Structure 1
Amino acid sequence: ALKYQKKFTEYSERIDSLTQTVAFSCKEDQTTNVTAVLLREGGSLGFNIVGGRLCTDDNDGSSNEGIFVSKIVEKGPADKDGGLQIHD
């Protein structure tokens, strides 16, 4: 039981660290719609996203919902010049 509890705690901490969101600005004039066409390689599109939660800008109280690119897999489908960037 102790071994299970230790592993559970390790996994929980890892999940928490992976799901923490970075504070993004929510100002409407800083948003851009992005359309990307990617072909899966090995079942992956080559990027991760975070978000989908209400984002509030502490400076002026504005808010916006959105999803953001949190990771681009090196040499993956999304890792192309002119393609997706972290924070898109």
Structure 2
Amino acid sequence: MAAQAVAGELERIAENRRSVYGLSDDIEGGEEADPAGQVTISTMHRAKGLEWDRVYLISLNEYSFPSAQETDNYLSERWFV
């Protein structure tokens, strides 16, 4: 029974991999479609200069996102406590 579950999971992974590679092929060589009603997934670097009505930032926190603020010495010292 466990072997069947593993085999099923591997098949789903393979299907998803094919879907992702097919999608990336479409993105790289495809035509520009009308973006109305579509979702764009991008890095912040690739999105520079583009505009959208709404932007959602995923997994963003004050420790991993670059900031113009100077590094707080106390903050860096807390890792050594």
TM-score w.r.t. length of structure 1: 0.31
Q: Which has the higher contact order (CA 8 A, sep 6+)?
A: 1
Could you say which structure has the larger radius of gyration?
2
Q: Which has the higher strand share?
A: 1
Q: Which has the higher helix share?
A: 2
TM-score w.r.t. length of structure 2: 0.33
